[in-house]
Amino acid sequence: MMRQLDVYMNGCKAGILKEQHPGKGYSFVYDDAYLTSGLPPVSVTLPKRKEPFESDSLFPFFTNMLPEGANRSIICRSLKIDESDFFGMLAAMAGKDFIGAVNIKTPTA
């Protein structure tokens, strides 16, 4: 079951973050329009390029957007999300205010 989230930078859609299988197999690919814009990459660890970034674990840039400690525990307990399901936490927080220029949203049809 693949899950997917849209990644925005300063309100512009920058790319798509996908989880191929629950808990493993992630990719991030920049949106074509964002690639040709003069806007910066979402992270220095994810420089702008046409090829997808792939990883066995969720990219540190995105895990660092998640709450930690007691806040993480409270959110996971209240939303019934496993604390090790980082992608699930990002999905649950999609559309909420994140600190910084990057925001996560659920895909629109």
DSSP string, 44-59: TTB---SSPEEESS--
Lowest mean pLDDT among 22-26, 39-43, 53-57: 22-26
What is the CB-side half-sphere exposure of residue 45 using CA atoms within 13 A? 10
Residue 57 domain boundaries: 3-105
> If we measure between CA atoms, which residue out of 4, 2, 1 comes closest to residue 15?
4
* pTM of the predicted protein model: 0.87
Residue 23, pLDDT above cutoff 70: no
| Per-residue confidence (pLDDT) for residue 1, from 0 to 100 | 66
Quick one: average pLDDT of 52-70?
90
Residue 104's SS3 state is strand
Whose tokens are 């957007």? That residue is: 65
Which residues make Cβ contacts (< 8 Å) with residue 84, sequence separation at least 6? 23
| Number of structural domains the chain divides into | 1
**Mean pLDDT of all residues belonging to the chain:** 89
